[in-house]
Amino acid sequence: MTLHMIKLSVGSESVESLAGWQQERLRNHGRLWHGTRMTPRRQDELLDGGSICWVIKGYVQARQRLVGFDFQEDAEDNRTTMLLLDPELVKVEPRRHRPFQGWRYLEPERAPRDLGQGEAAGRDLPPEMLAELRDLGLL
């Protein structure tokens, strides 16, 4: 069964700023990852088509497919779990989300839908406005 994760993208101003930061990491290191102290126990489910959904400025705005895990230890023997990511960031229907620490599992039925081709005009609207229009039933 597919399972997703949700995580705050601290410091990102937009999906584009997250993409720019990630492209630099990919260019400098040859792969894309997000490091975390906690190791997911449900790795098989996450790798069965799961994504990490990014909360940017209080809204879930994008997702990236999880492609693997790697582990790294520092000089003090602290282990970091590397969430390996597909470089493609997919914009999703913006949804408000309150701040939280770390990451959380996200069941597939609670994951936001990808923005479809028919919603291309809405891609240029601020996420707050898109979320409000959806809440009002106008989109």
Which residues fall within 8 angstroms of residue 95, CB to CB, at 6 or more apart?
A: 59, 60, 112, 131
> CA 37, CA 87: separation in Å to the nearest integer?
22
Task: Please report the pLDDT score of residue 116 as a whole number.
Answer: 72
> CA 108, CA 91: separation in Å to the nearest integer?
16
Provide the pairing of β-strand 79-85 with 33-36: antiparallel
Tokens for 73?
A: 């230890």
Task: Please report the pLDDT score of residue 117 as a whole number.
Answer: 52
> CA 8, CA 56: separation in Å to the nearest integer?
6
Task: Please report the pLDDT score of residue 49 as a whole number.
Answer: 96
Composition of the chain by helix, strand, coil, percent to 5: 30, 35, 35
Task: Please report the pLDDT score of residue 97 as a whole number.
Answer: 93
Residues lower than pLDDT 50 in the chain: 120-121
